[in-house]
């Protein structure tokens, strides 16, 4: 009875109504069938449904197995639901996991306030989050939910769980490696023991184990990500990156593809070394800011990026503004950039040129780097201090 009396019924009402609205909005979009659904996910789902687990012995998809395992379980235990809903269901569930980890991260700063709840709903109702999962049926929420979970455990210094979830994230999608420079920074600063890094390949191998047991070659499984990297010969796939400023980018692919990889790798290393040289404590706010910078900077510099590759930045920018409310424009601009970069693929229109969106991304990156550097090296006003958590 005492526990019941302590319940804040107004907050409980807000949570229930918010969740219902988030579900209703997503439900209204579920029937949309994208080109990707007809070309890929529907084919994979039907293949799993018709052939069962044994089909994992064959190379029937260009995705890493964990996402396909989820489709298999849906086909096995919920065979009656339409394919378009079945293929979207894992990402829909991941949306709420994302909101949950967002709540936990913001709650580290605001333990007794409604702000963590506001942050979680900001994620659930963000336009690109809804479009990505419920409308488009992409799997970005899956790897990003594990990635945000990894960041949460980094913030509370439970590095074993952080690296475990990072391994889960990479197992779903290779783009999770965008966070690697931050992990390397914490290693250089002797916060993460090198042994924890062994969890990443261990989790990735465990993720491949069922498909290997089914009969597929382990070498073939290990080559899935390298084969994905060789699929397209375009410097940008409607992504607002540095390559959006190169006219007829396909013509210059052979020149700028290796240059882009080298530039991104060196930038990641340079990022780690700069933060390592700082003698300031990496408090919660600066870690959140550094996470946002690196998940924006890596896809901005890398070639062959899709418009969806800024998805983690969409989420972390929302978290960021709750640590730095004075920079309220950051998640707004980030959301606008992502929303308009989706347009050519989803709706076959280009309201704003991708080159302009890339310029906006660059503005945010430069602004955030400048702010982070002033804090890391005490270059700003002495009155501007981070809160220690």
For residue range 99-152, what is the model confidence (pLDDT) as tens digits?
999 999 999 999 888 899 999 999 999 999 999 999 999 999 999 999 999 999
With a cut of 70, say whether residue 326 has pLDDT above it: yes
pLDDT in tens, 258-277: 999 999 999 999 999 999 99
Return phi, psi of residue 190, to 5°.
60, 30
**Residue indicated by tokens 């991708």:** 354
State the pTM of this model: 0.93
- Return the residue matching tokens 């600063």: 189
Give the 3-state secondary structure of residue 238: strand
- Looking at residue 217, its pLDDT comes to 95
Model confidence at 4: pLDDT above 90: no
Confidence of residue 7 (pLDDT cuts 50, 70, 90): low
Characterize the bridge pairing of strands 305-306 and 236-237.
parallel
Question: Cα dihedral angle (253, 256, 262, 268), rounded to 10 degrees?
Answer: -100
| For the chain, percent of residues with pLDDT exceeding 70 | 94
228 — pLDDT class (breaks 50, 70, 90): confident
Residue 387: predicted pLDDT: 45
69 backbone φψ class: left, alpha, beta (φ>0; ψ -120 to 50): alpha
Q: C-alpha distances in angstroms, 358 versus 287, 300, 363?
A: 24, 8, 9
CA–CA dist 8, 16 (Å, integer): 12
Mean of per-residue pLDDT scores for the chain: 93
If one compares 7 and 317, the residue with the highest pLDDT of the two is 317
What is the rounded average pLDDT of the residues 67-83? Answer: 96
Which pLDDT score, from 0 to 100, does residue 151 have?
98
Task: Give the model confidence (pLDDT) of 147-169 as tens digits.
Answer: 999 999 999 999 999 999 999 99
The larger pLDDT score, comparing residue 351 to residue 4, is at: 351
Q: Would you place residue 386 in the very low, low, confident or very high pLDDT band (cuts 50, 70, 90)?
A: very low
244: pLDDT confidence band, cut at 50, 70 and 90?
very high
Cβ pair 235, 300 in contact under 8 A: no
């Amino acid at each position: 009875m005492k526990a019941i009396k302590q319940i804040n019924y107004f907050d409980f009402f807000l949570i229930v109504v918010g969740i219902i609205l988030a579900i209703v909005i997503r439900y209204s979009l579920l029937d949309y069938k994208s080109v990707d659904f007809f070309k890929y996910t529907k084919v994979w789902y039907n293949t799993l449904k018709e052939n069962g687990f044994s089909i994992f012995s064959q190379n029937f998809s260009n995705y890493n197995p964990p996402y396909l395992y989820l489709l298999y379980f849906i086909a096995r235990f919920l065979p009656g639901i339409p394919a378009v809903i079945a293929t979207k269901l894992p990402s829909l569930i991941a949306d709420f996991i994302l909101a949950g980890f967002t709540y936990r991260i913001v709650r580290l700063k605001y333990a007794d306030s409604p702000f963590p709840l506001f942050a979680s709903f900001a994620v659930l109702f963000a336009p690109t989050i809804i479009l990505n999962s419920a409308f488009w049926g992409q799997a970005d929420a899956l790897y990003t939910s594990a990635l945000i979970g990894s960041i949460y455990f980094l913030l509370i210094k439970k590095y074993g769980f952080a690296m475990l979830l990072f391994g889960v994230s990479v197992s779903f999608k290779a783009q999770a490696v965008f966070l690697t420079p931050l992990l390397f920074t914490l290693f250089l600063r002797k916060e993460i023991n090198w042994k924890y890094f062994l969890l990443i390949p261990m989790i990735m191998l465990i993720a491949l184990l069922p498909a290997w047991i089914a009969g597929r070659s382990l070498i073939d499984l290990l080559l899935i990500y390298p084969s994905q990297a060789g699929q397209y010969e375009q410097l940008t796939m409607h992504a607002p990156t540095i390559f959006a400023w190169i006219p007829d980018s396909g013509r210059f692919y052979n020149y700028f593809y290796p240059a882009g990889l080298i530039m991104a790798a060196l930038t990641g290393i340079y990022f780690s070394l700069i933060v390592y040289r700082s003698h300031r404590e990496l408090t919660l706010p600066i870690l959140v800011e550094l996470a946002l910078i690196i998940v924006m900077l890596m896809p901005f510099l890398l070639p062959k990026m899709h418009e969806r590759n800024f998805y983690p930045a969409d989420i972390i920018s929302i978290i960021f503004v709750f640590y730095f409310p004075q920079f309220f424009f950051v998640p707004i601009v980030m959301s606008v950039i992502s929303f308009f970069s989706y347009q050519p693929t989803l709706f076959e229109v280009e309201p704003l040129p991708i080159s302009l969106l890339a310029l906006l991304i660059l503005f945010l990156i430069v602004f955030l780097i400048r702010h982070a550097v002033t804090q890391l090296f005490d270059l700003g006003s002495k009155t501007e201090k981070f809160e220690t958590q």
